[in-house]
Amino acid sequence: MVALAHKPAVWPEKLAGVSLAVRNIDHGFTLHGDYLPVLEDVSFQVEPGEFVALLGPSGCGKSTLLRLVAGLDRPRRGSLTVDGAEVTGPDPSRVVVFQDPTLYPWRTVWRNASLGLEARGLLKQQRGRVDEALALVGLDKFAKAFPHQLSGGMAQRASLARALVNDPTLLILDEPLGKLDSLTRLTMQGELTRLWQRRGFTVLMVTHDVEEALLLSNRVIVFSDRPARLRADLAVDLSYPRHRDHPELLRLRREALGLLGLAGDW
């Protein structure tokens, strides 16, 4: 926070986000009777309005960490606090966008986006928010379409709208662009940073794409292979929109790849 304070261009216009404290988290699964450690003594702090990327090799436990932050699972040991309050279960202020859009096939795009409001009984008063969110992701013309009629990028946009309708203070992104084609991916990356800068929520994003992490986030936290431990915490002090050929970005990219054990290959 202190290191970034002198670079206001990096931060959102207004700060609506929460802070997140992850302290000494241990977690694992029991597989065929054996305990399989997934996270080992993971600690870090995310400031309000910060965009933090979690980078690590595939299957290292990043997504498990996100599920803990979302409150879908409880950690074996350690504590997770959002604005000082312990995370005990899922909450619509902490919305997850999963790698798969997981839209409900029996609902139209509009009814998928309105899911959170409907679940909390707020739909009648706040119908306009659904239209707003769909317009924000450019899907207002597809409100009546069913998910199977959408392309991959559109489906992922719809799932983003479904999250945004709830006005999240912490947006949890689990490789949200992982399954998109490279062109759609580039546009969505731009859209994501613009959204974040306008709304000012805190973002925690898992990715295994080094470039994506560096293009989008203020900070990149690099994890080791399973069991995941903190390897490094890289600050990305560059203003948006970022250019992928920026020398500082290239330097950080080399550093991150080196931390992931790929330095020799690049």
Partner 1 sequence: MTTIAEAAPGRVGALRAGDDGRPHSLGLLGVAGLLWLALAALILVWPDAQDVERTRALGLLAAGLGVGQLAVWAGRWFSPRLARLGRFAPWLVVLALWLAAWEAATAKLDLLPLPFFPSPQAFVEVYTDDWRRLGDSLLASLWLLVRGFAIGAAIGFAIGVALGWSKRAGYWIHPIMRVIGPLPATAWLPLAFFVFPTSGSASTFLIALATAFPVTVLTWSGVAGVPTAYYDVARTLGATQRFLILKVAIPAALPHVFVGLFMGLGSSFAVLVVAEMLGVKSGLGWYLQWAQGWAAYANMYGALLVMALMCSTLITLLFRLRDRLLAWQKGLVKW
Phi/psi at 216 (nearest 5 deg)?
-100, -35
Interaction pattern, residues 7-36, with partner 1; x per rule: CB under 8 A:
------------------------------
Cα 42 to Cα 57, 77, 138, 196, 210, distances in angstroms: 16, 10, 38, 26, 20
Rounded least distance, CB 8 to partner 1, Å: 32
Show contacts with partner 1 in window 65-84 (CB under 8 A).
70-72
Interaction pattern, residues 212-241, with partner 1; x per rule: CB under 8 A:
------------------------------
Give the one residue of 26, 41, 83, 91 binding partner 1; rule: CB under 8 A: 91
CB atoms within 10 A of CB 69: 22
Q: Which residues have CB under 8 Å from 104's CB, separation 6+?
A: 111, 112, 115, 147
Rounded least distance, CB 69 to partner 1, Å: 11
Q: Which two tokens stand for residue 132?
A: 């707003």
Query: Which residue from 205, 164, 195 is spatially nearest to 69, judged by alpha carbons?
Result: 205
Does 105 bind partner 1 (CB under 8 A)? Our answer is yes
Does 94 bind partner 1 (CB under 8 A)? Our answer is yes
Q: Which two tokens stand for residue 205?
A: 């994003």
What is the contact surface with partner 1 in residues (CB under 8 A)?
70-72, 90-92, 94-96, 98, 100, 102, 104-107, 115-116, 118-120, 146, 148-149, 162, 166
